[in-house]
Amino acid sequence: MNDMRAKAPIDWVRVLAAYRDPDTKRSAFELAVTLLPFLAIFALAWWVLPHSGLAALALAVLNAGFLVRLFVIQHDCGHGSYFKSRSLSDWTGRLLGVLTFTPYDVWRRTHAIHHASHGNLDQRGIGDIVTLTVAEYRALSPFGKLRYRAYRHPITLFLIGPIYIFVLQNRLPVGLMRAGSQYWTSAMGTNIALAALFGALFWFGGWKLIAFVAAPTVLLAAAAGMWLFFVQHQFEEAHWDKAEDWQIHDAALNGSSHYILPPVLRWFSGNIGIHHVHHLYSRIPFYRLPEVIRDHAALAEAQRLTLAESLGCIRLHLWDETSRRLMSFAEARRLAAA
């Protein structure tokens, strides 16, 4: 940890630059060992479906893990970190965006906004989970408080929210409605491809193929992705500042967790749990992130959040600017009473 204190976040950026270059063969390999099993398991579930809907559903659950990994690859394409060729990264991301229900160019722009403003209390609203300060929450009307509580409820965040975002919101370039035709082209192009894909699935496989295989795969992957995004930024000792005090590298390093997952979950999530390193240097390919924490013990120990500890993050709702940590509604109420 002495190394962590000795280096400012901007110093870590220079260190991490050594890990930025992707290996084209490795990138192609990681794509193949994710996409080909995804397609094979989908085909197997389709074949099993007439004999056992339960078996097909079980395969869909497994395939959701591969879809999460495909999203991580799409995510790296959006950062220009997956292939050396930006054009190849972009077209790979666009094609994967059909499978992930995510218009690539729209998502790439909103995600860039997330990276450029995360932890800035004066620039919330695009590409993040809405988080109010204790003072802001207290200033709300009773109905406003009820609405925020409903939004932060686990059922909304991890069930209703993913369905809304991936099935409905992503059909339009939300947040970029007036930002240019490329975002409408991205959203509408993805919609047309999805309509053709699901039309073909319905034509050849019927409604059961969609209900027992396609829909569960997408929705479970969306819920898992939302959970990962949540715990990467919604932990007790996160990092938020007003614009005048906010610094992008401090927010990147200190406002993102290092989510410690079992090896199999780390593989399916594409090492995205090493999120503090990713935010500090987003051009590092996901398969090189383990190299960073292997080589730098200080980064390996920073913001560690275990699987068991992450469950407690569900109870965190408000940012307290005085104690500089996220807290529950109950704790905020006790502090107000005191």
pLDDT band, residue 2 (cuts 50/70/90): very low
Percent of the chain with pLDDT over 90: 91
Residue 47 belongs to some domain of the structure: yes
Residue 301 belongs to some domain of the structure: yes
Residue 328 belongs to some domain of the structure: no
Contact 89/248 with Cβ under 8 angstroms? no
pLDDT of residue 1 exceeding 50, the answer is no
CA 157 to chain centre: 13
Residue 243 belongs to some domain of the structure: yes
According to DSSP H, which parts of 17-85 are helical?
24-48, 53-78
Residue 149 belongs to some domain of the structure: no
Residues 112-167 pLDDT 10s: 999 999 999 999 888 889 999 999 999 999 999 999 999 999 999 999 999 999 99
Q: How confident is the model at residue 175, as a pLDDT?
A: 87
The average pLDDT across 195-215 equals 97
Residues 85-110 pLDDT 10s: 999 999 999 999 999 999 999 999 99
Residue 136 belongs to some domain of the structure: no
Domain that holds residue 191: 2-130+156-309
Residue 166 belongs to some domain of the structure: yes
Percent of the chain with pLDDT over 70: 98
- Cα–Cα–Cα angle for 288, 258, 29, nearest 5°? 25
Contact 275/259 with Cβ under 8 angstroms? yes
Number of domains forming the structure of the chain: 1
Q: How confident is the model at residue 6, as a pLDDT?
A: 54
Confidence (pTM): 0.94
Q: Which residue has the tokens 């068991």?
A: 308
